Amino acid sequence: MKDLSVEAKSIVENVEFVKRKKRKKSVIEKKENWVGFLFVSPMFIGVSVLTLLPIIATFFLAFADWNFIMGIQSVKWVGLDNFKALFANEVFIKSVLNNLLFLLTVPICMAISLLISIVIDKHVYMKSYFKVAFFMPYISSIVAIAVVWQVLFNPTEGPINQFLFSLGIENPPKWIADPNFALISLMVIQIWASTGFNMLIYLAGLQSIPKELYEAADMDGATRWDKFKHIMLPALSPTTFFLLITGIISTFKVFDLIAVLTKGGPINSTTMLVWHLYDSAFVNLKIGYASAIAVVLFFFVLFITLVQWSLQKKWVNY
């Protein structure tokens, strides 16, 4: 009996202790909740107002006919009309096609960057000079770069065509003034401008490959090409995959180059999704139509992101 009561007492004490601890813990928890929320609230409120709310609004506006001048009351719901107009519009189709063509810049740029990064990683002196040199276009403003290229590409007096004239070429392309060459000219500038970024990421990737792998390969008598194909490329596959995805997403967002250099012309030869969106919304004030483009853009990027998530494990060998 006595023993049991001692046991019971200790149980009761234990229960009391746990209860007290729980109460104390829940007070701390409550406090942590508040403190945590205080820390993240500026960010959360900012993102809610400036990103979450607008993305929901974009989806509503894509089904409406409205412009900035009219009040909120005069929103007219038009169902899928904006999307029908979109797919019936030649400029929109042209924009999508140009965006797809522009994708070519991604692998070309990656190949050039890989080559440069391999060379300057191990085979040159003054490595930091080269890093800075190739990285220069990335830190320079796109507007300044675009303006310089605009003059370089000048059809009659520009240094590029003067050079071609001096080589004896009589009718060099008119570059950004020529509908057949304008997009290619933009692609050249894009490749030139993004090489530095790709190169830096590849350099970081190269430096993380363990030296033992090369040493082992040397002992087995592997050639340079063998090492490149069987060590470097597989070890760099996460880097390559990352650059491919970010590169693709960034081509869907190309805007500054077009806005400064061509404004989508000549004869819509350089129009792309974001330019078409800007032109429809802020020049032609077709809000519903432009929002439909925004929705298409959103789904393009979402699709690529989902592909990234699902393929990440398959393509990437660590």
Partner 1 sequence: MERRISIRKLVMTVISFIVSIAFLLPFFWMLSTSFKIEADVFKFPIEWIPRTWNGIENYKEVWLGKDPFALYYWNSIKITVSTTIISVTVSALAAYGFSKVNFSIGNFLFLIILATYMVPQQSILIPQFILYRYLGLFDSHLGLILLGSFSVLGTFMLRQFFMGIHSDYIDAAKIDGASHFRIFWSIAFPIVRPAIATYAILRFIWTWNDFQNPLIFLRSDELYTIQLAMQKFTSLNGEFYSLIMAAAVSAILPLIIVFIIGQKQVIEGIALGGVKG
User: Which residues inside 259-318 make contact with partner 1, applying CB under 8 A?
Assistant: 259-260, 274, 277-278, 281-282, 287, 290-291, 294-295, 297-298, 301-302, 305
Give me the residues paired with residue 76 across strands.
Answer: 65
- Give the residue with the Cβ less far from partner 1, 54 or 210: 54
- Give the Cα separation of 189 and 185 in Å (integer): 6
The answer to whether 135 contacts partner 1 (rule: CB under 8 A) is: yes
The answer to whether 69 contacts partner 1 (rule: CB under 8 A) is: no
The answer to whether 209 contacts partner 1 (rule: CB under 8 A) is: no
Buried/exposed 289-310: b ≥16 CB within 10 Å, e otherwise: bbbbbbbbbeebeeeeeeebee
- Using CB under 8 A, which of 222, 235, 249, 316 touches partner 1? 249
The answer to whether 49 contacts partner 1 (rule: CB under 8 A) is: yes
> Least distance in Å: CB of 301 to partner 1?
5
Strands 76-77 and 64-65 turn out to be antiparallel
Q: How many CB atoms lie within 10 A of CB 193?
A: 21
Q: Which of 184, 206, 187 has the alpha carbon at shortest distance from 116?
A: 206
Among the residue ranges 41-49, 75-83, 179-187, 226-234, the one whose residues contact partner 1 (CB under 8 A): 41-49
- Give the residue with the Cβ less far from partner 1, 231 or 298: 298
Contact set for partner 1, span 184-203 (CB under 8 A) = 192, 195, 197, 200-201, 203
Kindly tell me the burial class for residue 156, based on how many C-beta atoms sit within 10 Å of its own C-beta (0-12, 13-18, 19 or more).
Answer: exposed
The answer to whether 40 contacts partner 1 (rule: CB under 8 A) is: yes
- Give the residue with the Cβ less far from partner 1, 242 or 268: 242
- Give the residue with the Cβ less far from partner 1, 10 or 227: 227
The answer to whether 134 contacts partner 1 (rule: CB under 8 A) is: yes
* Phi, psi of 16, deg, nearest 5: -60, -45
CA–CA distances in Å: residue 215 to residues 114, 223, 227: 22, 12, 10
- Give the residue with the Cβ less far from partner 1, 87 or 282: 282
- Using CB under 8 A, which of 1, 35, 88, 219 touches partner 1? 35
- Give the Cα separation of 201 and 240 in Å (integer): 9
The answer to whether 121 contacts partner 1 (rule: CB under 8 A) is: no
